[in-house]
């Protein structure tokens, strides 16, 4: 039988019930807390000195006490990207003990705090505006939403970031230092995946964006409140230009702009990450490769990103 830890209070209660005649010996044994021999020893101890609380071995006390741990958690909440030596110095500066990086590492592991990539939030981001944006977006169904944005790329986008080399040597990959002219991908993201991807080999401005909407995206939409009737974008000025708003209204659709400095509110950013990862895997960034990477995005991918942004 696997080891079971029985609370002292449970054992004491059973002994009292037996001694006072509420339970028979067989009934006490049937509970499964005591074996026959253990019950005999416990009764002997009870009749002599009572049933004392078993002392637990404490071992050497931890170097970081409760107050120190509370300070560590508070400090990491204030500044999540602290190095271990910086955290140790902070503890010492407020009168705490001098600790090593290894001790801090073990402590954080025990507290289930892991080191991960930092998600940067701009100081300019306004939580009130973000909350207002989420409140507006809650009026729409996921199938009504089309998320739109632009992402630039060139030949260097397909360069792989990691390679193999002997220990102590750099991984070097030769290639031209020149880069091709930068291009811009503009797609739409729905719960079904990517729609209307278009590449422009020029700077994107209000005129280029107007061309994309009228020729590629808006013909695939339906008037509100039908599916694909709400265009969601970030709030760059040319997205909000009067002629863009007028064009979208002509097709019976609505425009929603996410809060400033809040890219996590537009799930198409996640789609761009997958597209560029696909380009690195294929080691090529030709237009064909970009369209192929867009086609590889599944409805499951899209729904996951939209759910992560809070719209599903």
Residues near 33 by beta carbon (within 8 Å), at least 6 away in sequence: 6, 10, 11, 14
Contact by Cβ (8 Å): 104, 87: yes
Contact by Cβ (8 Å): 170, 202: no
Q: How many CB atoms lie within 10 A of CB 203?
A: 9
Residue showing tokens 């071995």: 57
Instruction: Please give the tally of structural domains in the chain.
Output: 3
Is 256 part of any domain? yes
Is 59 part of any domain? no
Residue showing tokens 């002994």: 15
Question: Radius of gyration over alpha carbons of the chain, in Å?
Answer: 32
Is 272 part of any domain? yes
pLDDT tens per residue across span 191-212:
999 999 999 998 899 999 999 9
Q: Are residues 135 and 270 in the same domain?
A: yes
pLDDT tens per residue across span 286-301:
888 899 999 999 999 9
Is 2 part of any domain? no
Q: Are residues 147 and 205 in the same domain?
A: yes
pLDDT tens per residue across span 27-55:
888 887 788 888 888 888 877 766 555 55
pLDDT tens per residue across span 59-81:
678 888 888 999 999 999 888 88
Inter-CA distances, 56 with 9, 13, 43, 53, 59, Å:
15, 21, 22, 9, 9
Q: Are residues 202 and 301 in the same domain?
A: yes
Strand partners, 151: 185
Q: Are residues 189 and 245 in the same domain?
A: yes
List the chain residues with pLDDT less than 50: 1-3
Distance between CA atoms of residues 113 and 197, nearest Å:
40
Q: Are residues 149 and 259 in the same domain?
A: yes
Is 221 part of any domain? yes
């Amino acid at each position: 039988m696997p080891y079971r830890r029985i609370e002292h209070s449970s054992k004491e209660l059973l002994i009292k019930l037996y001694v006072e005649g509420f339970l028979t010996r067989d009934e006490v044994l049937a509970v499964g807390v005591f074996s026959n021999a253990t019950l005999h020893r416990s009764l002997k101890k009870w009749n002599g000195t009572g049933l004392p609380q078993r002392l637990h071995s404490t071992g050497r006390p931890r170097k970081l006490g409760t107050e120190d741990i509370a300070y560590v958690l508070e400090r990491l909440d204030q500044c999540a990207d602290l190095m271990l030596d910086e955290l140790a110095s902070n503890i010492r500066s407020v009168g705490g003990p001098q600790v090593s990086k290894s001790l801090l590492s073990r402590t954080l592991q025990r507290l289930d705090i892991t080191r991960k990539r930092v998600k940067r939030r701009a100081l300019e981001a306004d939580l009130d505006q973000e909350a207002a944006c989420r409140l507006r977006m809650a009026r729409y169904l996921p199938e009504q939403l089309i998320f739109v944005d632009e992402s630039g790329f060139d030949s260097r986008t397909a360069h792989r970031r990691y390679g193999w080399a002997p220990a102590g040597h750099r991984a070097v990959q030769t290639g031209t230092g020149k880069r091709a002219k930068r291009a811009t991908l503009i797609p739409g993201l729905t719960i079904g995946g990517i729609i209307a991807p278009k590449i422009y080999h020029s700077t994107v401005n209000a005129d280029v964006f107007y061309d994309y909407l009228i020729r590629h995206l808006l013909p695939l939409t339906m008037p509100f409140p039908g599916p694909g009737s709400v265009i969601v974008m970030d709030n760059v000025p040319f997205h909000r230009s009067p002629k863009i708003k007028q064009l979208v209204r002509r097709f019976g659709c609505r425009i929603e702009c996410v809060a400033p400095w809040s890219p996590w509110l537009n799930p198409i950013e996640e789609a761009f990450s997958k597209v560029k990862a696909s380009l690195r895997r294929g080691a090529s960034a030709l237009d064909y490769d970009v369209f192929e990477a867009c086609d590889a995005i599944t409805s499951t991918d899209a729904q996951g990103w939209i759910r992560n942004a809070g719209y599903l």
